[in-house]
């Protein structure tokens, strides 16, 4: 990450770099001061190629202001070099063939291709994610299918194309696989059994997945996992290859992940299984001052734990957030600044919970800054909100911001590369944002912005146009 010295820029009279002026609306009332004022955005929250230029922040050699002007806002911007480096670091830590990108964090055809180009397998959790991976040209033997309630159509596709593994989650799923093998003559499934080891980790209850009380996997404590091994080994429709577990997400203490890995390793050794996958869950820093373990530290802790449990083979992992989160940021345009005397100030942007559901869903916390002056202190504070008809549409409850923020400003929230676009919705009929990859001074559109026409494509008209999509009728009228 490169930084230009403040001496290259004008100063505001207080020795601080001055924000670049833009042709915006009249200055809004100054934001109320935050005591103590937060310093500029932490470079550790920005993509690896971020650089502070006199004109503002650039990522991948592309000014964020230029990206917003070209592609509009809200906009997801991903540092392609950052994504590739994280993939390589994961492979270096765990070994080629042992790392599957957890595509639920962020998936499009470009991301699927990038991950596989860098030597990763692909972990998908639905028929839609599977179809995206196949459409991107990913070899089926490099795809692993997850899901606690796979339907017959998803399993049929998986068996027909020949995926690397199906991670089986229940006895009902084994029933479906056996029925497809028996009645349709589909080949036996290569299977890993997902188990719930009784170890729950993660920053929020909703993303803790390895406890006894979980919708995922066969329990170790109640004997369901051992029964599943016996059932799979006795089935002509199944080729049992190993065991899988995932204990939770956004874990910042690798010891928690190691505990889960040890429990699953003991089970694998006891039952003579030859493959062991311990899932993902490695957390990232979302706020200044936070730190997250490296892939190397994660690998060291996990290997020590499974060796202590008697496992001598390779260990598979499935990172998602730790690949994509810091690589991406979201750009918004400020639409209103509303100060309620004695209460608070609201800053509203042109996106919200339809492109970042995590604050409303998990209480997730973020920071924000102005790309035109990313190294400016942030003495003002306000509640940063979206444009949805929902009081809970809050991006940052008490955001530290430059005091001169105004209507029309471009505003960025970093570390939104995971579970932002992936969880995006059309709430209030807002089109989902575009996604661009930036690298070597070029921006590449990888997902176009939805249009209002897209929003109408699935609606079916009534009356004379019964059965015809509304959007098609409108095009006929034109």
Nearest to 180 by CA among 142, 237, 141, 133: 237
Cα dihedral across residues 76, 386, 321, 101: positive or negative: negative
Helix or strand run (H / E) with residue 381: strand 378-385
CB atoms within 10 A of CB 175: 13
Between CA 146 and CA 102 the distance in angstroms is 10
Between CA 99 and CA 116 the distance in angstroms is 10
DSSP H stretches of helix in 218-346: 224-233, 254-270, 295-308, 321-324
Match 């989650």 to its residue by tokens. 169
Nearest to 349 by CA among 403, 407, 424: 407
421 marked among binding-site residues: no
319 marked among binding-site residues: yes
β-pair type (189-196, 165-168): parallel
The structure tokens listed for 345 are 């100030």
CB atoms within 10 A of CB 8: 11
362 marked among binding-site residues: yes
85 marked among binding-site residues: no
The structure tokens listed for 382 are 């306000």
- Cα angle, residue 214 at apex, residues 353 and 274 outer, rounded to 5°: 115
279 marked among binding-site residues: no
Strand partners for 265: none
How far CA 325 is from CA of 78, 113, 250, 358, in Å, comes to 9, 18, 11, 13
Q: Are 302 and 262 in contact (CB under 8 A)?
A: no
β-pair type (238-244, 434-439): unpaired
Residue burial 278-302, b: 16+ Cβ < 10 Å; e: rest: bbbbbbbbbeeeeebbebeebbebb
The structure tokens listed for 222 are 């109640």
Q: Specify the 3-state DSSP secondary structure of 43.
A: helix
The structure tokens listed for 65 are 């202001």
Between CA 136 and CA 59 the distance in angstroms is 26
Between CA 316 and CA 121 the distance in angstroms is 10
321 marked among binding-site residues: yes
182 marked among binding-site residues: no
Between CA 45 and CA 413 the distance in angstroms is 10
What positions carry a catalytic annotation? 389
366 marked among binding-site residues: no
260 marked among binding-site residues: no
Indicate the annotated binding residues.
Answer: 281, 318-321, 358, 362, 390, 419
Annotated binding site for substrate: 321, 358, 362, 390, 419
Residues within the annotated binding site for pyridoxal 5'-phosphate? Answer: 281, 318-321, 419
């Amino acid at each position: 990450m490169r930084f230009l010295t403040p001496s290259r820029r004008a100063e505001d009279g207080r020795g601080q770099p001055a924000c670049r002026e833009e042709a915006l609306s009249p200055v809004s009332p100054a934001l109320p001061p935050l005591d103590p004022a937060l310093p500029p955005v932490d470079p550790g929250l920005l993509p690896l190629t971020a650089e502070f230029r006199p004109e503002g922040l650039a990522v991948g050699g592309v000014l964020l202001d230029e990206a917003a002007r070209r592609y509009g806002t809200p906009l997801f911007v991903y540092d392609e070099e950052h994504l590739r480096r994280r993939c390589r670091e994961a492979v270096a830590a765990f070994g080629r063939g042992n790392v599957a990108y957890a595509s639920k964090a962020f998936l499009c055809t470009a991301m699927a291709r990038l991950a596989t180009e860098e030597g990763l397998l692909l972990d998908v959790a639905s028929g839609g994610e599977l179809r995206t991976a196949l459409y991107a040209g990913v070899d089926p033997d490099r795809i692993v299918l997850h899901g606690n309630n796979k339907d017959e159509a998803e399993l049929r596709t998986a068996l027909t194309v020949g995926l690397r593994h199906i991670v089986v989650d229940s006895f009902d799923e084994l029933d479906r696989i056996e029925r497809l093998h028996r009645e349709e003559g589909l080949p036996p499934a290569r299977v890993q059994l997902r188990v719930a080891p009784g170890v729950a980790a993660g920053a929020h209850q909703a993303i803790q997945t390895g406890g006894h009380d979980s919708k995922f996997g066969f329990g170790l404590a109640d004997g369901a996992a051992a029964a599943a091994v016996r059932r799979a080994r006795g089935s002509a429709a199944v080729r049992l290859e190993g065991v899988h577990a995932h204990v939770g997400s956004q874990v910042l203490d690798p010891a928690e992940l190691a505990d889960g890995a040890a429990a699953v390793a003991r089970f694998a050794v006891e039952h003579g299984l030859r493959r062991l996958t311990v899932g993902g869950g490695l957390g990232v820093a979302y706020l200044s001052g936070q730190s997250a373990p490296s892939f190397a530290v994660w690998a060291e802790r996990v290997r020590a734990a499974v060796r202590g449990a008697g496992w001598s083979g390779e260990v598979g992992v499935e990172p998602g957030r730790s690949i994509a989160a810091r690589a991406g940021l979201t750009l918004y345009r400020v639409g209103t600044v509303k100060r309620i005397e004695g209460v608070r100030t609201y800053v509203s942007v042109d996106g919200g919970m339809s492109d970042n559901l995590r604050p409303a869903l998990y209480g997730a916390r973020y920071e924000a800054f102005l790309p035109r002056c990313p190294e400016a202190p942030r003495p003002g504070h306000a509640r940063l909100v979206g444009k949805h008809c929902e009081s809970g549409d809050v991006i940052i409850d008490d955001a530290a911001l430059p005091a001169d923020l105004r209507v029309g400003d471009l505003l960025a929230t970093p570390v939104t590369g995971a579970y932002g676009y992936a969880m995006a919705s059309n709430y209030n009929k807002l089109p989902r944002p575009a996604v661009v990859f930036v690298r070597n001074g070029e921006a590449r559109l990888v997902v176009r912005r939805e249009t209002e026409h897209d929003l109408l494509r699935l609606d079916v008209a009534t009356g004379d146009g019964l059965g015809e999509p509304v959007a098609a009728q409108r095009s006929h009228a034109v």
